[in-house]
Amino acid sequence: MSVIDNSTLRKKVYDNISNRILEAQLLPGERMNLRNLSAELGVSISPIRDALWKLESEGSIVIEANKKIYISELKITEVDEIFSIRLLLESKIIKEAYENRSPKTIEIAKKHLDLMIENVNNPKEYLIANSKFHFYLYSLSNSPLSLHFIKELWGKIAPYYSLHITTNYDCQTDLSHHKAILKAFTENDKKLLVKALHEDILGSKKFIRDLLK
């Protein structure tokens, strides 16, 4: 009989819950329940609890003394700080990804963008495709520490993407930014690539600030 690697199980559970947050499948302030997550993932409560503690340390969720667990909510000052850091880190990592691009990676990136286009009328799937598009490009940078910090930042703001898209449903402007990112990435224009990324990031900042106002 093979022995189950508990560390691998904990990582899988963490990745599953973390991806739900990164892919904007949960709303700011939305409650989370240990037993429900345990039933959904088919695992005991222990690895669920471990994953939630880690997510709390990253600022993605809040665990209160009364065991109430919910997705973190932000103040405008926190949003401003997060997006200032995003501009720096994501500019750095997209330029590194640009240096490592190849015909194969461009083709894969295009497939991720195609999924966004296909799901432009399906908010849930669109947001999943959006996350996968960004993090596929960023993964080409071979900068795991920068990628880790970017994911932590996304974990704080991604729930607001879901709130925005359900209250002000229009993906076309957002999609145009992503098309510009891929176009620059494909056509070897690093300056335009960073400019397109900045427009995407600043557009996200604006709608989150508007929501909080």
The H-or-E segment that residue 39 falls in is helix 34-41
- Report, as ranges of residue numbers, the positions in the chain whose pLDDT lies below 50: 1-4
Instruction: Please tell me the predicted confidence (pLDDT) of residue 133.
Output: 97
Instruction: Please tell me the predicted confidence (pLDDT) of residue 96.
Output: 96
Q: Give this prediction's pTM.
A: 0.86
**Helices and strands counted in the chain (H then E):** 9, 3
Separation of alpha carbons 152 and 131, rounded Å: 13
Instruction: Please tell me the predicted confidence (pLDDT) of residue 137.
Output: 97
Instruction: Please tell me the predicted confidence (pLDDT) of residue 168.
Output: 57
* Three-state secondary-structure class, residue 31: strand
CB 122 within 8 A of CB 187: no
Instruction: Please tell me the predicted confidence (pLDDT) of residue 163.
Output: 80
Separation of alpha carbons 188 and 175, rounded Å: 20
Distances (CA, A) of 179 to 73, 104, 131, 202: 30, 18, 14, 16
Any idea where the domains of the chain sit in the sequence?
6-71, 76-212
**Which runs of consecutive H residues, i.e. helices, occur in 63-143?**
76-99, 103-118, 123-139
Separation of alpha carbons 97 and 139, rounded Å: 7
Instruction: Please tell me the predicted confidence (pLDDT) of residue 178.
Output: 96
Which CATH code fits 6-71?
1.10.10.10
Which CATH code fits 76-212?
1.20.120.530
